[in-house]
Chains A and B, each alone.
Chain A
Amino acid sequence: MRTIPGKASAAPLRIFVASLAWVTLCAQGALAQPGGKPGPMQSGSHASAPAGAQPQPFDVSQLFATSCGWCHMNGGRQDGKGPRLMGTALSDEQIMSRIRTGKVGAMPAFSGAFTEEQLRAIVAYIRELKPLAKQ
C-alpha cells in the first residue's frame, strides 16, 4: 500500500506523544491493563495535537451546525430530537445554564466545551432566529 512522502518523520513524534500519555495515565493509576509489551495503544493521544490547527474566525452559525444542529433541527427553527429554539421563552441565563449542564437522556452538558463568549454568542444566535423564506 502506498505511503505519503514525508510521513515517516511524523511517526516517532506520535509514538512519543502516545508514550507520554501512557506514562501519565499509568502514574494516575487509571489503567488496569498490564504493563509491558505491546505497550501504549490507547486511542486518543492524537486528538490533542491536530496538525496545522490554526485559530479560526469564530462563526456561531458554524458552531451550531457543528455540534447542535443534529437535535435542534433546521438550525433551531423546528422541533426535532430537541425543542425548537426560535422564540424560546427561556431567559438568557436559563439558556446558558441548560447548555452548560444539559439534561439527562436528552442533551449533553457542554460545560467546559464552549467558552463563555461562545455561550453568549449561541444565545444571541437563538434570539435572532427567524423563519426561513420558502424556497
Chain B
Amino acid sequence: MKRGFIRASIFLAAGFAPGAPALAADVDFQRLLKADQEPQNWMTYHGSYKSWHYSALADISAENVRNLREAWSHVASRSVRGLQSYPLAVDGVLYYSGSYNQVWALDGATGRVLWQYKQKLNEDLVAKQTHSPYNRGIAIGYGNVYMGTLDGKLAAIDMKTGKLNWETKLVNSEKLTVGFTGAPLLVKDKVIIGAQGGEWPDRGPIFGVDAKSGKQLWRFYTVAGEADNGDARNTWLNDSWRTGGGGGWMAGGYDPETNSVWWGTANPAPLYDWSGPDYQTKGARPGDNLYTTSVILLDPDTGKLKGYHQELPHDAWDFDSATGEFIMLERDGKKYVVHPSKSGFVWVYDRSGKVQNVWRLIKHINFVKDIKSNGELVGRRDMTEGKHTNLCPFIAGGMSWNMGSYNPKTGLLYKVGNEWCMDLEIKKTTPVLEPMAQLNIGADFNITHPQGDKAHGHVSARDPITGELKWEVKFPEPPLASLLSTGGNVLFVPDARGWLRAYDARDGKELWSHNNGQGHNGGIITYKAKGKQYVAVMTGWGGLAGDDYAAFFGGNFAQMPKDSGVIKVFALR
C-alpha cells in the first residue's frame, strides 16, 4: 500500500443547520458514576461502570418490538474487517469509531454527519499488523473523544469540533508491531487503556493518562509487573518474561466503592508451549507466568497493583482473560464481580478479587477436566511437542471478545457460547524480535467439530452467580457480536449471518428479526434522541474469529464482504 499520512477533521456546515441537535454537554466522572440515571445516553463502552450492557429504556418493548424498522444508517469508509466498535450516545449525538482509527459524530435522530475525524497513521506499519486495522471502541469525557490508535497512541478528539486536541505516544509500535484496538476507560480524571498482545513479545502494559492534558501518569506491565510494582519475574524462569504476551486488549471495568480498576490480561507468548506437565521447569516460559491470563485490580490514581487472580496459571491454550466484561452485581447483601472468559468458564469474584464460584457456559471443554468453585484447575491438559487432537474449545474461544448483557429485571446474564474444537501440532518456536516483533504462536492447527457433535453457537440466559440455565437458543454458527437487553424485556442478538434478532428476555421467544445484509461483529446500544428511542448496531464482517467461517461453515460466509461497515439504526415505526 502507498505510504500515506492522512489527517482530516471536517466540521460539516450541516451540523449547524437549524434544527440540528445541540452538541453534547460535557461528560465527567460524576456523570459516569450516575450513568444509570440517564438511560437515554450510552456514555461508556460497557454502558456504565456496572458493565451490564443493559438500558432501562422501555419504549421499545417485548410487546411492540415487532414494529421496529430501520430509521437511518451510516456507511463507514475503509471498513476493512467490518465495524467492530461500540457506538456511544450522549445528549442526542451518536459517536463511533471504525477501521483505520476513523471517528464520526452523527445526529442521533437522523444520522446527519456532524463531523468526521481520520487519524494520521503510518500506513506502512498498519499493513504489517495482524490484529488490525479495526478499532473496538472509544471513551468520552471532559470534552474529548478518546481513542487508542493502531500505532500506539492515545488520541483526544474535541467532541464538539472533531479536531485533535492532543495525542500521546504510549507504545513503540514501530518496534513491537502492536498498538491499541480496545476501548479506553475513563475513571476520575484519567484515561486507562491496555495494549494489544497475547502472542506478541510486548509486556502487555496498561496505561493511565491524564484525561485533560494527555500526560502519561503510570504504566503497569502485565507481564511480570515491575520492580516496584508487583515484581513477578520469578514466575518466568530463565528470564522468559521477555517473551511477553499479556495484553489487556479489551476495556476493563471499575468498582467505585473500592476504587479498583478491574482489567483482564491476555495469554503469554508463545500461545502453545511444549513443556507438557513439567511447565514449572521446562518449555518456552517455565512457571506460572504472572500476570498473564489473569484478572488484575489496579489503583486508578497510581497504577499500583492492589490484587489479582490468575484464572489460568501458565495458560497453554490461548484462553486469555482479556475478553469478558466485569459485571458488578449485588445479591442478598453481598457484592460480586462476574467475569466470563475465553476458556468457556465464568468466574465469580467478591469485590476484593477472591473467587466465589466458577461455572461453565459451554459444553465442550477438555483443556481441563474441571475448574473447582474455588478457582482451582483440575486435570490440566498440558501438551508436549507433537500432534494433539480434539482440544476444546477452539482457539477463538468458548466465548469471544464481544459482550453479554445482564438484565436486572430478569436477574439473568445473556451470553454467547461457542462449541468448537481443534487439532494441533505443537512446535518449538523461537520468537522473531528483529527488526520488528512477529506473532509467536507455537503450533500449526485447524478447527474441528466437537466429537459426537457439530460445531455451533448458542445464546443462553443464566443465573450470573450459579450459572443455572433458564433458557437457550442455538445458532448454526456462533454469533460474534455483543448483546443488548432492555427494560422493555427485549434481548437483541446480532448474529453472524447478518440477522438482527429480538427475543423476549424472559423466555427466549423470538419476537422480531431483520436482515442487515452482512454479519455482525461489534457492539449494540439503545439511546434516545429528540425523545425517541433508537437501537444502533454495528455491521460488517472479518477478523480473527470470523475469518474462519468461510472455510469451515461455508454458506453465505464464502461471499460475505470483509471490507464493508455500516451502522444501522432502528426505531418503532
A residues touching B (Cβ–Cβ < 8 Å)?
A: 1-4, 7, 11, 21, 25, 30-34, 38, 41-48, 50-53, 56, 61-67, 69-71, 73-76, 78-81, 101-102, 104-106, 108-113, 135
Neighbour of A62 across the interface among B127, B430, B434, B446, CB < 8 A: B430
Cβ contact within 8 Å between B429 and A1: no
Cβ contact within 8 Å between A33 and B127: no
Query: What residues of A have a CB within 8 angstroms of the CB of B133 in the complex?
Result: 105
Q: Once the chains are docked, how many angstroms separate the CA of A63 from the CA of B423? A: 19
Closest 6 CB pairs of A and B: A44-B172, A79-B551, A81-B547, A105-B80, A75-B444, A65-B427
- Nearest Cβ on chain A to B440's Cβ, whole angstroms: 6
Q: Does B340 contact A (CB under 8 A)?
A: no
Q: Once the chains are docked, how many angstroms separate the CA of A75 from the CA of B80? A: 26
Residue of B nearest to A73 (CB): B446
Q: Once the chains are docked, how many angstroms separate the CA of A78 from the CA of B448? A: 12
Query: What residues of A have a CB within 8 angstroms of the CB of B152 in the complex?
Result: 43
Neighbour of B447 across the interface among A50, A65, A80, A102, CB < 8 A: A80
Neighbour of B172 across the interface among A4, A45, A113, CB < 8 A: A45
Question: CB-CB contacts of B292-312 with A at 8 A, as 1s and 0s?
Answer: 000000000000000000000
Cβ contact within 8 Å between A32 and B443: no
B residues touching A (Cβ–Cβ < 8 Å)?
A: 1, 80-81, 124, 127-130, 132-133, 152-153, 166-173, 175-176, 195, 199, 201-203, 205, 207, 213-219, 221, 225, 227, 230-234, 238-239, 242, 244, 270, 387, 389, 395, 423, 425, 427-447, 542, 544, 547-548, 550-552, 562-563
Query: What residues of A have a CB within 8 angstroms of the CB of B438 in the complex?
Result: 66-67, 110, 113
- Contacts across chains A and B counted by CB atoms under 8 Å: 193
A66-B432, A108-B128 known; A75 vs B425 contact (CB < 8 Å): yes
Query: What residues of B have a CB within 8 angstroms of the CB of A109 in the complex?
Result: 124, 127-128
Cβ contact within 8 Å between A69 and B169: no
Query: What residues of B have a CB within 8 angstroms of the CB of A7 in the complex?
Result: 227, 231, 233
Residue of A nearest to B79 (CB): A105
Q: List 21 A–B pairs whose Cβ atoms lie within 8 Å, in order of A's numbering.
A: A1-B232, A3-B233, A11-B227, A30-B169, A32-B169, A43-B195, A44-B173, A45-B172, A47-B176, A67-B439, A69-B444, A70-B130, A70-B544, A73-B551, A74-B446, A79-B550, A80-B447, A101-B127, A104-B127, A135-B387, A135-B389
- State the majority secondary structure of interface residues on B: loop
Cβ contact within 8 Å between A64 and B444: yes
- Nearest Cβ on chain A to B201's Cβ, whole angstroms: 6
**Of A30, A43, A50, which is in contact with the most chain B CB atoms at under 10 Å from its CB?**
A43
Cβ contact within 8 Å between B231 and A1: yes
Residue of B nearest to A51 (CB): B239
Cβ contact within 8 Å between A108 and B218: no
- Nearest Cβ on chain A to B1's Cβ, whole angstroms: 6
Residue of B nearest to A8 (CB): B227
Query: What residues of A have a CB within 8 angstroms of the CB of B169 in the complex?
Result: 25, 30-33, 42
Cβ contact within 8 Å between A43 and B170: yes
A32-B214, A52-B238, A110-B128 known; A47 vs B429 contact (CB < 8 Å): no
**Beyond A4-B233, A52-B239, A67-B432: 7 further Cβ-contacts under 8 Å?**
A7-B233, A43-B152, A62-B430, A74-B445, A105-B542, A112-B436, A113-B435
- Nearest Cβ on chain A to B403's Cβ, whole angstroms: 23
Query: What residues of A have a CB within 8 angstroms of the CB of B389 in the complex?
Result: 135
Query: What residues of A have a CB within 8 angstroms of the CB of B445 in the complex?
Result: 69-70, 73-74
Q: Once the chains are docked, how many angstroms separate the CA of A74 from the CA of B216? A: 43
Cβ contact within 8 Å between A44 and B175: yes
Cβ contact within 8 Å between B170 and A42: yes
Cβ contact within 8 Å between B444 and A21: no
Cβ contact within 8 Å between A65 and B442: yes
Cβ contact within 8 Å between A48 and B175: yes
Cβ contact within 8 Å between B433 and A50: yes
Q: Once the chains are docked, how many angstroms separate the CA of A78 from the CA of B132? A: 23
A1-B230, A1-B232, A33-B169 known; A43 vs B216 contact (CB < 8 Å): no
